[in-house]
Amino acid sequence: MENILEVKGLKTHFRFDEGIVRAVDGVDFRIRPQGTLGIVGESGCGKSITAMSIMRLLPRSAKIVDGQMLFRYPDSRNIEQIVDLAQVDEDGRTMLEIRGNRIAMIFQEPMTALSPVHTIGEQLVEAIRLHQDLSKREARNLGIEMLRKVGIPRAEQRIDDYSFQLSGGLRQRAMIAIALCNRPLLLIADEPTTALDVTIQAQILRLIRELQEEYAMAVMIITHNLGVIARMADEVAVMYRGRVVEFADVDSIFHAPKHPYTKALLRSIPKVDAPRTARLLSIRGTVPEPFAVVPGCPFHPRCDVAVAGLCNSGEPPALLPVRNGHAVACVLETEESRRYA
């Protein structure tokens, strides 16, 4: 099955007077048609910047300096196109056709992503008419239908509300309606359950899954919550300091992790069957500050199994296959897999 999106060696850097921040520093992953890729990692590891790079919505201080983002989609004539999103003009016709139409995004904080001075309906109508040849009335009717589909009650009245008149859960549903009104091939959901209570989180995740099946779209879900990954993802990319350190199917990530960082993340999850007096394990140390250049593996200063002279020198280890569909960026793991191959 051909991938809908292939990201190869993506590097997105920020330039400041103090130096360069390598927010994304060689990211590799793929998303299959109708599949769900979960991207997980600590805050500041480059998850959101990867998504913003795909959407070409980076701030002026950021620039894609290397890599490819190959997106496969049918154009307006239903002819399959393969476009390198890293090379197209971010304000050009191709990107305007793709952004919000073929690829849509649910942003991390709906209160800041939604306009406070325009009604939900105005934002829906604008998104629809930008990509579909519909009148304002037709676009409004489609908007009402989308609000109903995402579970917003009294959609005919709510469409004229402003974002501050909606609860957190309803704002997130409204953002999902705006993102999906043009039936994209790929939905990027950046922390879609942030700041929502547990009940609403479950509803939002279930809604995304149901709409994914109905629209036959792929989903890239970004989160630091491994519970969300376990529930939603088919494949998982684990990120640390701007790099993918492990890529595998979700079962392998949870039951046979290879990278020390992935193992440390899993150890830090509270367990229901743990003794009441058991201490919650944490990853020792802290993430290096953004301008720091760490030789060798970026995780080695916090790694319990790092080998001096091997893990702390040279270039960061490449993401290499250790078995079918499972790749890891760890010298110790790749050497061991070769030894017993």
**Ordered per-residue pLDDT tens for the chain, 341 residues:** 589 999 999 999 999 988 899 999 999 999 999 999 999 998 889 999 999 999 999 999 999 999 999 999 987 778 889 999 999 999 999 999 999 999 999 988 777 889 999 999 999 999 999 999 999 999 999 999 999 999 999 999 999 999 999 998 999 999 999 999 999 999 999 999 877 888 888 999 999 999 999 999 999 999 988 989 999 999 999 999 999 999 999 999 999 999 999 999 998 888 777 787 778 788 888 888 888 889 999 999 999 999 998 999 999 999 999 888 899 999 988 765 555 44
Of the residues 204, 239, 274, the one at which a domain ends: 239
Same domain, 157 and 272: no
Say if 251 falls within a structural domain.
Answer: no
β pairing state of 320-323 and 36-40: unpaired
Say if 245 falls within a structural domain.
Answer: no
Say if 247 falls within a structural domain.
Answer: no
Say if 244 falls within a structural domain.
Answer: no
Same domain, 71 and 184: yes
Of the residues 210, 239, 268, the one at which a domain ends: 239
Same domain, 74 and 198: yes
Same domain, 140 and 45: yes
The pLDDT of residue 335 is 67
CB-based burial, 321-338: b 16+ in 10 Å, e otherwise: ebeeebbbbbbbbbeebe
Tokens 């091939």 found at: 185
CB atoms within 10 A of CB 256: 12
Same domain, 206 and 163: yes
Helix/strand/coil percentages in the chain, nearest 5: 35, 25, 40
Same domain, 175 and 217: yes
CA-closest candidate to residue 64, choices 41, 42, 88: 88
What total number of domains does the chain contain?
2
The pLDDT of residue 272 is 76
The DSSP annotation for 200-236 comes to HHHHHHHHHHHHHHHHT-EEEEEES-HHHHHHH-SEE
Same domain, 224 and 279: no
The pLDDT of residue 338 is 53
Of the residues 239, 273, 294, the one at which a domain ends: 239
The pLDDT of residue 286 is 85
Same domain, 154 and 223: yes
**CA dihedral over 279, 283, 287, 288, signed as positive or negative:** positive
Range of the domain at 169: 5-239
CA angle 242, 88, 112 (to 5 degrees): 60
Same domain, 100 and 48: yes
CB-based burial, 199-209: b 16+ in 10 Å, e otherwise: ebbebbbebbe
Tokens 């579909």 found at: 132
Nearby residues of 235 by Cβ (< 8 Å), 6 or more positions away? 32, 35, 36, 37, 38, 247, 248, 249, 250
Cα separation of 217 and 72, whole Å? 13
CB atoms within 10 A of CB 77: 6
Say if 34 falls within a structural domain.
Answer: yes
The pLDDT of residue 113 is 85
Cα separation of 124 and 27, whole Å? 33
The pLDDT of residue 340 is 44
The pLDDT of residue 275 is 81
Domain of 56, CATH number, reads 3.40.50.300
Same domain, 188 and 316: no
Cα separation of 150 and 206, whole Å? 11
DSSP classification of residue 99? B
Which regions of the chain does DSSP assign to beta strands (E)? 5-16, 19-31, 36-40, 62-74, 80-84, 103-106, 186-190, 218-223, 235-240, 243-249, 320-323, 326-328
CB atoms within 10 A of CB 3: 16
Q: Count the residues in the chain.
A: 341
Same domain, 186 and 299: no
Tell me the pTM. 0.92
Say if 139 falls within a structural domain.
Answer: yes
Same domain, 54 and 125: yes
The DSSP annotation for 137-152 comes to HHHHHHHHHHHHHTT-
Say if 246 falls within a structural domain.
Answer: no
Tokens 């009717």 found at: 141
